[in-house]
């Protein structure tokens, strides 16, 4: 099985492209199922910062072509425009990449804690669809283990920065005193909850939560002493909001430039700051062209984040060492998939020969006592074990070497073991 990764991230593509590739929930499981159809394995992961398709397939070329075709269909972009933003990794590089993702080392905010749950959810969705198998089971379980080790053995996630906290930090920079300001949260999901918690810690004065379902927004608003409204009240609430932070899971724009322009007529020139931390974006980019409106999207937050993580460099180095150790362990396991069956086949063939020769000699051994027959059995078994000991040790050592698979193939050829590779 060849390991393959096809994807993109904030390192390679702006939010304008990433939002065209975004998928979530059951769509991720369905995508993984399509990619795994025909005997492969697949997991589809999408977050604000990345879209990654992890694949295990006998034919790496076919797997790559199918993954690229799925992403092209999602983005509705010409192949050439999409290809320039994609990266492809294979073999051991796939494991190292996933382990770094699970540990929060590949995120815009190093050490962010949400990603581990997102990796777990992506794997579980694919698993429920029957899209995973032994290779990706092992890969993702070890990735989750690596992420937990980094969280428990390093301080990279202490007082963690996040996209939500960066949004709150930006709001605090815009207004020296948040106590007299009104913050309008658009969305009532996890990102909105984290943003609200960060804003409250900075002394925000008034908080309004706007959501498609007012019932879902109510608990969040009450928890932080705010007020819940429906999305149909957005224009009305814009008239009194100083900062708007949007983080819904909608596929379409939640707030257009036209809606904002109408609300501005009641603001009498008072500026309003918009922070869009959703992917796909919730806020119309044209809002930034309106007088008195300042719009920041998730990519704009990177500068804020960079300052907040400057003190984590030492912990990041420790986290990288843990991830590298786990990736090497996975690579050794994957290499053993070629070697261990060959060892088992050799021992099985030797035992068949030993048993057959003893059976042929039974007529000449009729005069032996049961105790003596047992001694003959033991003696022949020991001879086989001693003969196979060194080849077994050498092959196990070869499992971690680049030519381990070639040595296993040579063993199969020399002893006519057939092709028993998984």
Pairing of the two strands 50-57 and 2-9: antiparallel
* Range among 205-209, 305-309, 362-366 with highest mean pLDDT value: 205-209
pTM comes to: 0.65
pLDDT band with cut points at 50, 70 and 90 for residue 214:
very high
Mean pLDDT of 97-103: 94
Per-residue pLDDT tens digits for 318-330: 899 999 999 988 9
Among 70-84, 118-132, 280-294, 407-421, the least confident range: 407-421
What pLDDT, on a 0 to 100 scale, did the predictor assign at position 51?
A: 93
pLDDT at position 264, please? 86
Q: Please check the confidence at residue 422 and state whether its pLDDT lies above 80.
A: no
**What does the pLDDT read at residue 340?**
76
Quick one: pLDDT at residue 312? 65
**176, pLDDT greater than 60:** yes
Choice between 193 and 98, residue whose per-residue pLDDT is larger: 98
Higher pLDDT, 10 or 418: 10
Instruction: Determine what percent of the chain is predicted with pLDDT higher than 90.
Output: 37
Q: Which of 114, 103, 90, 93 is nearest to 143 (CA)?
A: 103
CB 341, CB 374: distance < 8 Å: no
- How does pLDDT run across 120-147, given as a tens digit for each residue? 999 999 999 999 999 999 999 999 999 9
- Determine the average pLDDT of the residues in 346-366: 88
- Reply yes or no on whether 48 is catalytic: yes
Asked if residue 172 has pLDDT above 80, the reply is: no
User: Which listed residue (36, 48, 208, 398) is catalytic?
Assistant: 48
CB-neighbour burial class of residue 96 (10 A; exposed 0-12, middle 13-18, buried 19+): buried
Q: Residue with structure tokens 């809606």?
A: 259
201 burial via Cβ count (<10 Å: 0-12, 13-18, 19+): exposed
Q: Please measure the distance between the N-terminal and C-terminal CA atoms of the chain and give it in whole angstroms.
A: 8
Q: Is the pLDDT of residue 18 over 70?
A: yes
Tokens of 202: 């900075």
Residue 179, burial from CB neighbour count under 10 angstroms (0-12, 13-18, 19+)? exposed
Buried b (16+ CB within 10 A) or exposed e, 350-388: beeeeeeeeeeeeeeeeeeeeeeeeeeeeebeeeeeeeb
Residue 83 has pLDDT above 90, yes or no: no
- Mean pLDDT is lowest, of 67-81, 82-96, 184-198, 238-252, for 184-198
Q: What is the pLDDT of residues 31-66, one digit of tens each?
A: 999 999 988 999 999 987 899 999 999 899 999 999
Cβ atoms of 323 and 99 closer than 8 Å? yes
Tokens representing 389 are: 């000991």
Beta bridge partner(s), residue 44: 53
**pLDDT score of 311:** 59
Of 166-175, 278-287, 362-371, 378-387, minimum mean pLDDT range: 166-175
Mean pLDDT, the chain, rounded, equals: 86
pLDDT at site 135: 92
Average pLDDT over residues 326-354: 84
Domains of the chain: 2-159 (3.30.460.30), 163-306 (3.40.50.720), 339-414 (no CATH)
For residues 138-160, give the mean pLDDT: 85
* Strand ranges of the sheet holding 41-46, from the earlier edge strand across to the other edge: 41-46, 50-57, 2-9, 87-90
pLDDT at 420 (0 to 100): 58
Q: What is the C-alpha to C-alpha distance for residues 285 and 90, in angstroms, rounded to an integer?
A: 36
Q: Which residue has the higher pLDDT, 362 or 73?
A: 73
């Amino acid at each position: 099985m060849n390991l393959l990764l096809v994807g993109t991230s904030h390192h390679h593509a702006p939010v304008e492209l990433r939002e065209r590739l975004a998928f979530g929930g059951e769509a991720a499981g369905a995508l993984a199922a399509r990619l795994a159809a025909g005997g492969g394995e697949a997991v589809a992961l999408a977050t604000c910062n990345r879209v990654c398709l992890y694949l295990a397939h006998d034919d790496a070329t076919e797997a790559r072509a199918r993954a690229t075709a799925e992403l092209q269909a999602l983005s509705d972009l010409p192949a050439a425009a999409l290809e320039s933003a994609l990266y492809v990794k294979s073999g051991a590089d796939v494991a190292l990449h996933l382990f770094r993702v699970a540990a929060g080392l590949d995120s815009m905010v190093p050490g962010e804690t949400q990603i581990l749950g997102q990796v777990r959810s992506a794997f579980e969705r694919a698993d429920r669809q029957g899209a995973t198998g032994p290779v990706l089971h092992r890969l993702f379980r070890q990735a989750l283990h690596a992420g937990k080790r980094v969280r428990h053995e390093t301080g990279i996630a202490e007082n963690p920065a996040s996209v939500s906290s960066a949004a709150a930090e930006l709001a605090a920079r815009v207004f020296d005193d948040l106590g007299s300001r009104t913050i309008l949260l658009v969305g009532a999901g996890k990102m909105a909850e984290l943003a609200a918690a960060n804003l409250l810690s900075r002394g925000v004065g008034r908080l309004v939560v706007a959501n498609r379902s007012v019932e879902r927004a109510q608990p969040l608003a009450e928890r932080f002493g705010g007020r819940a409204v429906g999305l149909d009240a957005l224009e009305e609430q814009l008239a009194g909001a100083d900062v708007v932070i949007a983080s819904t899971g909608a596929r379409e724009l939640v707030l257009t430039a036209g809606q904002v322009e109408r609300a501005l007529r009641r603001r009498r020139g008072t500026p309003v700051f918009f922070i869009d931390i959703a992917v796909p974006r919730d806020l119309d980019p044209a809002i930034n062209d309106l007088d008195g409106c300042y719009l920041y999207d998730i990519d704009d937050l990177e500068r804020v984040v960079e300052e907040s993580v400057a003190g984590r460099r030492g912990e990041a180095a420790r986290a990288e060492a843990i991830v590298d150790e786990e990736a090497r362990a996975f690579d050794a396991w994957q290499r053993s998939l070629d070697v261990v069956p060959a060892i088992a086949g050799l021992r099985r063939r030797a035992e068949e020969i030993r048993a057959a020769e003893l059976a042929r000699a039974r007529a000449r051994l009729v005069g032996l006592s049961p105790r003596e027959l047992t001694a003959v059995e033991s003696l022949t078994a020991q001879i086989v074990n001693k003969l196979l000991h060194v080849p077994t040790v050498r092959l196990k050592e070869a499992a971690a070497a680049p030519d381990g698979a070639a040595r296993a193939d040579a063993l199969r050829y020399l002893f006519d073991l057939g092709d028993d590779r998984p």
